[in-house]
Amino acid sequence: MTDVVGVGLVGLSAKGGWAARAHLPALAALPGYELRALAASDATAAAEAGRRYGVPRAYATVEDLVADESVDLVVVAVRADRHRACLLPALAAGKPVLCEWPLGTGLAEAEELAAAARGTRTAVGLQARSAAPIRYLRDLVADGYVGRVLSTTMTGAGGLWGPTYGSYAAYTLDPAYGATLLSVPFGHAVDALCAVLGELRPVRALTANRLPRVRHARTGEIAVKHTDDQVVAVGLVDDDAVATVHYRGGPARGDGLRWEITGTTGELLVTCPGHLQHGPVRIRGGRDDDRELTDLPVPARYDHSSGLAAPAGPIAEAYALLAAGDSAVPDFDHAVRRHRLLAEIAESGRAGQAVPDPARPLGMANS
C-alpha cells in the first residue's frame, strides 16, 4: 500500500451504525489514511452517505468501488452474512481488504474466502489483539509478571442474546446470519486470550439456549431465538495452563468482562465495562508479597490510537499497525483458525446441550 492509503468503505450509512461510529473516526484520526470512496446498498443511500460524511466518491455497488483506482484498501463493515458478496469482487481485483469479524457465516465460508484471497493482503477485524492494553498484557505475561501461568478464567456478557431484543438486532436470533454469542463477543474475547496466553486447546464445551423465546423491547412481540445464550469452554493454553471461558447472553449490571490470569508468583485482573474489542480496558496486578491488586497503566509507547475513545480506539490501533506491517493485525488465514476453534467449541457444546422445553413460557423467570 502507498504512503497515504486511499480507503473505500463498504457499509457507511447516513443513518449511522458501526462503520460511522468506529471506522470513520479512526480513519480521520490517522495521517496515513484517507477515506476516498464508499459503497452502500443503492445509489440513493450512497449519495446520502457521501453528502453527510463528505466522501467524494459514492457508489451503489462494490464492483464500482473496487474499480476506482484511487482506492488502495477496501474495508468491509457490513453484516457477516453479506461479507462474501462484498469481498469476492475486491479479492478478484487483487485489492487489499480489511473485513469485519466474523469473516463469514461459518467455517466453510471463511475457508472459501481465505482461499480466494491467496496472494492478496488481507486483515480481519479482531481488533482486541491490536489494542494497546492487550499488547501490554501479552508482554506482562511473557516477561514473567505472574511467573508460570497456572490458570485463566474469563467471564463476559454478550449484551444481546438476552430476554429482549430490538428490531436492529433481530437477525442475531438466527444462526444462519453468522452473528451469534459464540461468533461475536466470545470470538473476539477468546482471540484476545489466545494472543496473550497462546492458542486455546478446547477439552470440553457446553452451550445452551436458555431463552428460546424472547420479547421485543418496544412492542412486546414474541420471537423464537435459535441462537445459544450460554457458551462455556474449558481447555488448555500455553504450558498446559487451565483455561475457562464463559459468556452469557444479555446485558451486564457490572463489568461486561472479567478476566483473571493466575501464576506461580502473581495475578493479573482485566476488566471492561462492555466488550473487550471496544474497551476501555483496565489492568490490575499483584505479585510476590502484594496483598492487593494495583492498577497497571498502559505505557504510552503502546498507544497508536491518537487518543480516540471506545469503540474507535482499538480500530485505530489496528489501522496503525496494519500500515506498519505489524503481525498483531490478523489476516484471513488467522480468521480461519479462529473460526475452526469456534466450530470445535460448537460441536463439543452440541454434544452435551440440553434441549429447551417449548412449553415453558418465554424461558423467563416468573413470566
- The predicted-structure confidence for 41-86, as pLDDT tens digits, reads as follows 999 999 999 999 999 999 999 999 999 999 999 999 999 999 999 9
Predicted confidence at residue 2, as pLDDT, reads 59
Predicted confidence at residue 1, as pLDDT, reads 53
Q: If you average pLDDT over residues 92-102, what whole number do you get?
A: 97
Paired residues of 259 in beta bridges = 154, 270
Please give the mean pLDDT across all residues of the chain: 94
pLDDT at 363 over 60: no
**Residue located via cell numbers 504512503:** 3
Q: If you average pLDDT over residues 296-314, what whole number do you get?
A: 94
Spatial neighbors of 345 by CB under 8 A, at least 6 apart, are 182, 202, 205, 207, 231, 233
Predicted confidence at residue 57, as pLDDT, reads 98
CATH topology of domain 5-125: Rossmann fold (3.40.50)
- Among the listed residues 55, 265, 227, 26, the one whose alpha carbon sits nearest the alpha carbon of residue 144: 265
pLDDT range class, residue 198, cuts 50, 70, 90: very high
pTM of the predicted model as reported, rounded to 2 decimal places: 0.94
pLDDT range class, residue 115, cuts 50, 70, 90: very high
Q: Find the Cα–Cα–Cα–Cα dihedral 346, 352, 353, 357, rounded to 10°.
A: 170
Predicted confidence at residue 180, as pLDDT, reads 98
pLDDT at 133 over 80: yes
Angle between helices 187-197 and 132-142 (to 10 degrees): 40
Give the number of other Cβ atoms within 10 Å of residue 185's Cβ.
27
Q: Return the C-alpha cell found at 213.
A: 423465546
Predicted confidence at residue 328, as pLDDT, reads 84
Q: What angle do CA 277, 282, 284 make, to 5 degrees?
A: 135
pLDDT over 70, % of the chain: 95
Domain extents in the chain: 5-125, 128-298+331-351
Q: If you average pLDDT over residues 204-225, what whole number do you get?
A: 97
Regarding beta strands 73-76 and 5-10, do their DSSP bridges make them parallel or antiparallel, or are they unpaired? Answer: parallel
pLDDT at 353 over 90: no
pLDDT at 364 over 80: no
Q: If you average pLDDT over residues 329-346, what whole number do you get?
A: 97
Angle between helices 83-92 and 107-116 (to 10 degrees): 10
Find the radius of gyration of the CA atoms of the chain: 21
Q: How many CA atoms lie within 13 A of 64 on its CB side?
A: 13
Predicted confidence at residue 64, as pLDDT, reads 98
pLDDT at 362 over 70: no
Lowest mean pLDDT among 120-129, 249-258, 344-353: 344-353
Mapping DSSP onto H, E and C, the string for the chain reads: CCCCEEEEEECCCCCCCHHHHHHHHHHHHCCCEEEEEEECCCHHHHHHHHHHHCCCEEECCHHHHHHCCCCCEEEECCCHHHHHHHHHHHHHCCCCEEEECCCCCCHHHHHHHHHHCCCCCEEEECHHHHCHHHHHHHHHHHCCCCCCEEEEEEEEECCCCCCEECHHHHHHHCHHHCCCCHHHHHHHHHHHHHHHHCCCEEEEEEEECCCCEEEECCCCCEEECCCCCEEEEEEEECCCEEEEEEEECCCCCCCCEEEEEEECCEEEEEEECCCCCCCCCEEEEEECCCCCCEECCCCHHHCCCCCCCCCHHHHHHHHHHHHCCCCCCCCHHHHHHHHHHHHHHHHHHHHCCCCCCCCCCCCCCCC
Predicted confidence at residue 366, as pLDDT, reads 31
Q: If you average pLDDT over residues 288-303, what whole number do you get?
A: 96
- Which one is the CATH code of 128-298+331-351: 3.40.50.970, 3.30.360.10, 3.40.710.10, 3.30.413.10? 3.30.360.10
pLDDT at 357 over 80: no
Q: If you average pLDDT over residues 101-106, what whole number do you get?
A: 98
For residue range 240-262, what is the model confidence (pLDDT) as tens digits? 999 999 999 999 999 999 999 99
pLDDT at 109 over 50: yes
